Chains A and B, each alone.
Chain A
Amino acid sequence: MNKTVNPNDLTSNDDNGPLYVAQKKVYPQSVSGTFRRIKWGLMAFCLGVYYFLPFVRWNRGIGAPSQAVLIDLPNSRFYFFFIELWPQEIYYFTGLLIVAAVALFLMNSVGGRIWCGYLCPQTVWTDLFYAVERLVEGDRRERMKKDKSSDPMKLERISEIVLKHSIWLLIAWWTGGAWVLYFNDAPTLVKELVTFQAPMIAYIWIGILTATTYVLAGFMREQVCTYMCPWPRIQAALTDEWALNVTYRYDRGEKRTSVKKAIELRALGEHVGDCVDCYQCVAVCPTGIDIRNGPQLECIQCGLCIDACDNVMTKIGRPKRLIGYDNDINIQRRQEGKAPVYRIVRARTVAYSAIIAAVGGIMIYTLATRSLLDVNVLHDRNPVAVRLSDGSIRNAYTVRLLNKSGYDRVIAIDANGPANLTTHVVGIDSVTPDRPMIVIPRDSTSELRLLVTAPAESNPEKSVPVLFHVTDIGLGEVATATDNFVSP
Chain B
Amino acid sequence: MTDHHGDIDSVTGKSTTGHEWDGIKELNTPLPRWWVISFYLTIVWAIGYWIVYPAWPLISSNTTGLFGYSSRADVAVELANLEKVRGDKVAALGAASLADIEKDPALLALARAKGKTVFGDNCAPCHGSGGAGAKGFPNLNDDDWLWGGTLDQIMQTIQFGARSGHAKAHEGQMLAFGKDGVLKGDEIVTVANYVRSLSGLSTRKGFDAAKGEKIFAENCIACHGDGGKGNPEMGAPNLTDKIWLYGSDEASLIETISQGRAGVMPAWEGRLDPATIKAMAVYVHSLGGGK
A interface residues (Cβ-Cβ under 8 A, vs B): 1-5, 7, 10, 380-383, 386-391, 394, 396, 426-427, 446-447, 449, 451, 456
Contacts and interface: CB of A to CB of B under 8 A. Distances in A.
B287 A396 contact: yes
Contacts of A1: 22-23
B129 A388 contact: no
Contact of B142 (A380, A381, A386, A447): A386
A426 B130 contact: no
Contact of A389 (B112, B141, B243, B286): B243
Contact of A382 (B23, B130, B143, B242): B130
B130 A390 contact: no
Contact of A388 (B22, B23, B142): B142
Nearest to B200: A391
Contacts of A446: 105
A386 B286 contact: no
Contact of A449 (B112, B130, B242): B112
Nearest to B107: A427
Main secondary structure of the interface of A (DSSP, over half): loop
12 contacts: A1-B22, A383-B130, A386-B139, A386-B141, A386-B142, A388-B142, A388-B243, A389-B241, A390-B242, A446-B105, A449-B288, A456-B242
A391 B238 CA distance: 13
Nearest to A428: B103
A380 B238 CA distance: 27
Given A394-B288, A426-B108, 13 more contacts: A1-B22, A1-B23, A2-B23, A380-B130, A382-B130, A386-B142, A386-B288, A387-B242, A388-B142, A388-B143, A389-B238, A390-B242, A456-B242
Interface in B6-34: 10-11, 22-23
Contacts of A456: 242
Contacts, number: 68
Interface of B: 10-11, 22-23, 102-103, 105, 108-109, 112, 128-132, 139, 141-144, 238, 241-243, 286-289
A389 B289 CA distance: 10
B102 A426 contact: yes
A10 B130 CA distance: 72
Contact of B128 (A382, A389, A394, A427): A382
Nearest to A386: B141
A475 B256 CA distance: 58
Contacts of B109: 447
A395 to B, nearest CB: 9
Residue of A387, A446, A449 with highest tally of chain B CB at under 10 A: A387
Residue of A4, A10, A426 with highest tally of chain B CB at under 10 A: A426
A391 B132 contact: no
B201 to A, nearest CB: 12
Contacts of A2: 23
B205 to A, nearest CB: 25
B102 A383 contact: no
Contact of B286 (A4, A388, A426): A426
A394 B242 CA distance: 13
Contacts of B105: 427, 446
B288 A389 contact: no
A389 B144 contact: yes
Given A396-B287, A449-B112, A381 B143 contact: no
B283 to A, nearest CB: 10
Contacts of B10: 4-5, 7
